Amino acid sequence: MFLKQRSISTGAELRGVWPALFTPLLHDDPRRLRNSIDYAKAKLIIDDLIAEGVNGIVPIGTTGQSPTVSPEQHVDFIRFAVEYIDGRVPVIAGAGSNSTRESVDMIQSILTSFGDMAVLCVTGYYNNPPQEGLAAHYETLSRETGAKIVMYNVPARTASYLEPETLLRLADDRNIIGLKQAVDFRNLGKHREDTIAVIEKTKGLDFGIVSGEDDGVFAMMELGGNGVITASGTIAEASRLFLKLVAAHQAGRSDEAKGLQEETMAFVKLVFARKNPIPLGTFFNSPLFLPLVSVKETKGGAELEAEILKFIREKTPLLKKYHPGM
């Protein structure tokens, strides 16, 4: 029998605010090679997010240290998240790889353990496949697993970009239900025009499009998108603002939504002051697996660490519990 869980099966359900869950670690390996996952801390993070009313949670994405957790930890943490969330909100599991075979195996393992579950799959990083390879990658994931797939287009991290023609081809696949679009659609240029074209041309399909840029949620919704999968939103107080932003925009209060986007920037600037999820390690008092290091170990990091801790003391009371003596 599968664990009690909720996921999504249609593009229409990919909407609102979906925090990309941070994976906290114990300080049990000073080498930062084989740390255990801090499940007690993860429970607190999840409870705070659900209390805010998030639409769903995404474990083991980039924010969840997906490139560096072990394969066993990857599946174990998804199992934990599904079990602990216990159907309170839907879950989309991170299951991307630059190896199609590896991603197929990972998705099949997830489906075997949990039943039907939507998965978030990134494009092919490092090996940088051509458009034909990207299309074949997602079509193979669909054919081999039958899972509901949300594509993740993030060229700044992958050097791999899903062109509109490829996205439209893939949107016709009944198992490919959505897109996390992490490109610069806020400013005039190719990525904005591409995003507009995909949103317009998929209106008749069951295909949801959300922002993958925390500073672009308002812009995405202005273009016709449906919300955000957010790294900053793993901090409950940030998700509170994103939820208000989405609600205001859906109610037609565009100026209010724009103002709320500005309010989120205090979080976004700190969370992305170093490569995600480095600052979140400081926010949640957690080590990171190498080759990521702590904020303090980066150039100018002592000042940034002090700024983050000051922000926690003054702006994020829910995070004080992760910092003994604060």
SS3 22: coil
Catalytic residue among 180, 190, 203, 269: 180
CB 149 within 8 A of CB 142: yes
Residue with tokens 């989120």: 264
Query: Tokens 């993070």 label which residue?
Result: 45
Contact 260, 248 (CB under 8 A): yes
Q: Which of 138, 152, 161, 322 is catalytic?
A: 152
Which of 48, 106, 36 shows the shortest CA–CA distance to 78? 106
DSSP state of 213: -
CB 212 within 8 A of CB 180: yes
Shortest CA distance to 97 belongs to which of 67, 64, 59? 67
Pairing status of strand 149-153 against strand 92-94? unpaired
Pairing outcome for strands 92-94 and 227-230: unpaired
Rounded to an integer, what distance in angstroms lies between the CA atom of residue 66 and that of residue 71?
Answer: 9
DSSP string, 59-107: ESSTTTTTTTS-HHHHHHHHHHHHHHHTTSS-BEEE---SSHHHHHHHH
Q: How far apart are CA 286 and CA 322, in angstroms?
A: 9
Which strand (E) or helix (H) includes residue 227? strand 227-230
The SS3 of residue 195 is helix
Q: Is 4 a catalytic residue?
A: no
C-alpha distance across the termini of the chain, in Å: 43
Q: Can 269 be counted among the known catalytic residues?
A: no
Question: What residues contact 242, with CB distance under 8 A and at least 6 apart?
Answer: 17, 214, 217, 228, 230, 232, 233, 260, 264
DSSP letter at 130 equals -
* Active site positions, annotated: 152, 180
